[in-house]
């Protein structure tokens, strides 16, 4: 850690990790409900556990993005943060917002708009937190006068993510109108501006871990951002097939969303080449595993499994089935959960005391158990989804009759989800087992290896 104020990242990561653990409790609970009987049916039904599961995901991922930005910007701009006080106020407000929203969902206090269920007062707090965050980061960069391309892409992604939350503040009575604008937030987040955030972290990590040439990384980053925009914006139409809007959206959605994986192929190639050139010289090999892993798993979960159901001719059968859950898990995990764990793994030897830069076996177990578990979960959802589509949509069996016939896949989901949860448990244990470092010390092992580039 080169700058004392980078230590705020530790507290953001700590909150993110705690919420990640809680998210899995609600994921396993949701999966168990598919198997029945459900003793919690009247206290904590499926719709409540699922809302909590997905909202915890969004909150912890955004907390992770914020922490990783507070770590990266001082490093890139070579200065202390403009205000650590503001960063802590923001974290306090944000955590209170997240926790009270979850408690509210237990009592059905929410807007019912999938993934954007936060009640209006919570949404306003989210906006305030984003403004504090962007102000703090903006002032830090202004104060230093050093602004890198990597930071630029990251900041553009973060600022656009805040702007795209604005449609979520409005309420529409008409369901078609409501769902039409909902995708401006959700789709343009995950298949647009969040990919820029991921790209920014990825480039930063590759430069630091593999010694990749900054100029080369910057050029790749521009190409990837360009591709994301060309395909991603009109690709929104792959959510407009069956929601009551004009039919011209069908070919537009099919064509542009089918191009989206091109950017993801570019990202995976760029990560792989950077690693090849480095010869794995950096001692923090585990951080490189997470970094390359994120690029490759995104290509699998978002690129391949997104492509698999993006054409109207396929989506008319698979829309809203477990095929969607298959893709949602693999894509979200690869792109956003893994890149945050990459940033944490890179920063942790500096952020905690008594940790060497060399990767430990606990860390590798956490990595591989998560990967194996998530791969198994993806296959469980996929096999359940294929069965569901065939029995329910093609043969016309009732929803519940179909569910009875695909129970085995949910047993597989609970088993693989448990393996995944052990991996996450190990990661969280490894995170918390050593005390945080709150100052810049000579014994920080990273000071010699985290070369300034």
Rule CB under 6 A: which residues touch ligand HEM?
24, 27-28, 30-31, 50, 53-54, 57, 114-115, 186, 190-191, 238-239, 257, 260-261, 298, 302-303, 306-307, 309-310, 315, 319-320, 324-325, 327-329, 331-333, 335, 337, 413, 417, 420-421
In the list Fe ion, ligand HEM, none, the entry touching 97 (Cβ below 5 to 8 angstroms by class) is none
State both tokens at 64: 């992770």
* Separation CA 280–CA 286 (nearest Å): 10
In the list Fe ion, ligand HEM, none, the entry touching 98 (Cβ below 5 to 8 angstroms by class) is none
Question: What are the strands, taking DSSP E only, across 163-320?
Answer: none
Cβ 177 to Fe ion shortest distance, Å: 18
Quick one: 312 or 363, whose CB is closer to ligand HEM?
A: 312
Quick one: 116 or 205, whose CB is closer to ligand HEM?
A: 116
In the list Fe ion, ligand HEM, none, the entry touching 157 (Cβ below 5 to 8 angstroms by class) is none
In the list Fe ion, ligand HEM, none, the entry touching 27 (Cβ below 5 to 8 angstroms by class) is ligand HEM
Cβ 311 to Fe ion shortest distance, Å: 13
State both tokens at 54: 């997905």
* Separation CA 276–CA 288 (nearest Å): 11
Whether the CB-CB separation of 168 and 182 falls below 8 Å is answered with yes
* Separation CA 291–CA 442 (nearest Å): 27
Query: Which residue has the closest beta carbon to Fe ion?
Result: 187
Give the DSSP letter string of 383-450: HHHHHHIIIIIIS---HHHHHHHTHHHHHHHHHHHHHHHHHHHHHHHHHHTSPBP-S--TT-THHHHS
Quick one: 88 or 248, whose CB is closer to ligand HEM?
A: 248
187 part of the interface to Fe ion, by CB under 5 A: yes
Burial of residue 412 (CB within 10 Å: 0-12, 13-18, 19+) is: middle
309 part of the interface to Fe ion, by CB under 5 A: no
* Separation CA 170–CA 184 (nearest Å): 12
Quick one: 257 or 416, whose CB is closer to Fe ion?
A: 257
| Residues 6 or more apart in contact with residue 379 via CB below 8 angstroms | 412, 416
Query: Which residue has the closest beta carbon to ligand HEM?
Result: 306
Site stretch for Fe ion (CB under 5 A), options 24-32, 99-107, 179-187, 436-444: 179-187
Cβ 187 to Fe ion shortest distance, Å: 4
> Which spans of this chain sit near Fe ion (rule: CB under 5 A)?
187, 191
């Amino acid at each position: 850690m080169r700058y004392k104020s980078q230590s705020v990242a530790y507290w953001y990561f700590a909150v993110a990790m705690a919420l990640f653990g809680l998210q899995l409790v609600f994921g396993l609970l949701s999966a168990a409900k598919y198997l029945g009987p459900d003793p919690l049916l009247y206290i904590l039904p499926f719709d409540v556990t699922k809302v909590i599961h997905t909202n915890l995901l969004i909150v912890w991922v955004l907390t992770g993005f914020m922490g990783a930005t507070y770590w990266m910007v001082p490093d890139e701009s070579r200065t202390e943060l403009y205000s650590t006080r503001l960063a802590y106020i923001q974290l306090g407000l944000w955590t209170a917002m997240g926790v009270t929203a979850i408690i509210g969902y237990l009592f059905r206090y929410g807007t019912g708009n999938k993934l954007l269920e936060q009640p209006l007062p919570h949404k306003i707090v989210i906006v305030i937190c984003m403004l504090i965050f962007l102000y703090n980061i903006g002032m830090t960069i202004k104060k230093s006068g050093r602004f890198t391309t990597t930071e630029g892409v990251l900041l553009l992604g973060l600022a656009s993510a805040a702007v795209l939350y604005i449609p979520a503040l409005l309420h529409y009575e008409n369901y078609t109108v409501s769902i039409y604008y909902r995708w401006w937030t959700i789709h343009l987040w995950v298949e647009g501006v969040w990919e820029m955030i991921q790209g920014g972290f990825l480039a930063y990590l590759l430069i630091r871990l593999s010694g990749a040439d900054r100029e080369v990384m910057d050029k790749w980053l521009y190409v990837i951002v360009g591709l994301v925009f060309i395909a991603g914006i009109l690709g929104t139409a792959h959510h407009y097939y069956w929601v009551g809007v004009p039919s011209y959206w069908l070919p537009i959605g099919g064509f542009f969303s089918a191009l989206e994986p091109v950017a993801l192929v570019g990202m995976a190639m760029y990560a792989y080449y950077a690693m090849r050139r480095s010869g794995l010289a950096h001692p923090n090999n585990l951080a490189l595993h997470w970094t390359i892993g994120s690029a490759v798993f995104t290509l699998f979960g978002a690129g391949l499994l997104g492509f698999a159901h993006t054409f109207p001719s396929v989506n008319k059968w698979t829309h809203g089935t477990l095929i969607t859950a298959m893709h949602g898990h693999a894509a979200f995990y690869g792109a956003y959960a893994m890149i945050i764990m990459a940033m944490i793994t890179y920063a942790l030897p500096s952020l905690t005391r008594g940790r060497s830069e060399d990767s430990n076996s606990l860390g590798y177990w956490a990595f591989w158990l998560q990967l194996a578990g998530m791969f198994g979960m993806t296959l469980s959802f996929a096999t359940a989804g294929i069965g569901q589509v065939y029995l329910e949509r093609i043969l016309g069996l009732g929803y519940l009759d179909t569910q009875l016939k695909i129970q085995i896949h949910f047993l597989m989901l609970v088993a693989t989800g448990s393996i995944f949860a052990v991996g996450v448990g190990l990661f969280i244990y490894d995170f918390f087992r050593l005390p945080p470092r709150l100052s810049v010390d000579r014994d920080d092992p990273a000071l010699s290896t985290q070369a300034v580039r």
